[in-house]
Amino acid sequence: MRAGLLRHRVAVQQRVAATSDMGTPVDTWETVATVWGAVEPLSGTEALIAHQAASEATHRVRVRGLPPTVRPDASRFRVEHKGRLFDVNAVLDQEERNIELHLLCREGDREAPR
């Protein structure tokens, strides 16, 4: 992967359980890695293919391999880029070597009403 293609600074965030001041359980988001990546809208054909791997994928976020402590589980991760939120639907590890990851995402916050 050419470094020049990774021109977006993205934050990979993980859902963590916390407790509110009132003692009720709440979910919050914690940034676990800030990396260079490429945020790319999917073309029509790519969206059809991605739909088979991840429902409603609208974007692909390409990043170099993440640290071993960060293994994105699609249901617990999202990506933030310039205030935009991308829920991770699927993680594709190119060549299964943790060198290049493709995160298939849907723009928007999964907590927000649809």
CB 42 within 8 A of CB 24: no
CA pair distance 45, 17, nearest whole angstrom: 37
**pTM of the predicted structure, to 2 decimals:** 0.75
- Per-residue pLDDT, 114: 41
Instruction: State how far Cα 84 lies from the chain centre.
Output: 11
Domains defined for the chain, CATH in brackets: 11-107 (2.40.10.270)
CA pair distance 60, 13, nearest whole angstrom: 16
Residue 31 phi/psi, 5° resolution? -75, 120
CA pair distance 85, 18, nearest whole angstrom: 21
- Per-residue pLDDT, 62: 93
Each of the 114 residues of the chain gets a pLDDT tens digit; together they read: 555 788 899 999 999 888 889 989 988 999 999 999 999 998 765 555 555 554 567 899 999 877 766 665 667 889 999 999 999 888 888 777 778 889 999 888 766 544
